[in-house]
Amino acid sequence: MGRQSVQLRQASRLVPFERAVLPGLHVTAELIWDHQGWLELSYGVLVSASAGLSSLRLPGGLVDGEQRGGSRRDELWTTTCFEAFLGLPGQEAYWEINLSPNGDWAVYHFDHYRQGQSCQALSDDPVIRLERRHHQLRLDARLPISPWWPGTVAPEFALTTVLDCGAAGCSHWSVAHPEDRADFHQRHLFLAP
């Protein structure tokens, strides 16, 4: 089992897998885990002045602030989606968290690499907030991971993002892409606490 901890905080700048992405596009991600059973995730997207946020394909009906109409949905990763992967140190099992700018979400448990997928129940829906400016988008989420996460074990994790740029296609963002394809499920890419 992993190291006993009370809090973990990590911020990262993400890089795209695809070589051709919108010029001036930057993505950051931050994770805060605490032993009381909560996970906080924050993602920032900065787009060049010439492109603006209109160059990203986002769900309709967005409002700034808390996204109250969201619900559990599958296949959020097929368009703009903010993601986190959590793994128990020394084990093959892991969880995938998907967050949409409109408040939709999904959490999946995997027994092994891309195998044994099941929906993970949450005690409460995540709280997802969105802020948009002409060149910036920020998504903040807070979700319960108790009782399925052991309280004092800090997770191994990966922070990732999929950005849908319309006709230009989707770009896949992570801290690194050592493989010949974008694959966020690779456990050797998870950061250790």
CATH number at residue 67: 2.60.40
The answer to the question of residue 189 being in a domain is no
Residue 91 has pLDDT above 90, yes or no: yes
The answer to the question of residue 181 being in a domain is no
Closest Cα to residue 185, out of 82, 106, 94, 117? Answer: 94
pLDDT at residue 5, as a whole number: 63
The answer to the question of residue 185 being in a domain is no
The answer to the question of residue 187 being in a domain is no
Residues 6+ apart with CB under 8 A from 111: 92, 93
Per DSSP, the three-state class of 73 is coil
The answer to the question of residue 38 being in a domain is yes
- Structural domain count, the chain: 1
pLDDT at residue 50, as a whole number: 66
pLDDT at residue 6, as a whole number: 66
* pLDDT, average across residues 135-154: 91
The answer to the question of residue 118 being in a domain is yes
pLDDT at residue 4, as a whole number: 59
pLDDT at residue 175, as a whole number: 92
Q: Minimum mean pLDDT among 93-102, 147-156, 157-166: which range?
A: 147-156
Sheet hosting strand 38-46, strand order edge to edge: 65-66, 127-132, 136-144, 38-46, 26-34, 7-16, 170-174, 156-164, 81-87, 94-99, 105-110, 118-119
Parent domain of 100: 7-176
Residue 57 has pLDDT above 60, yes or no: yes
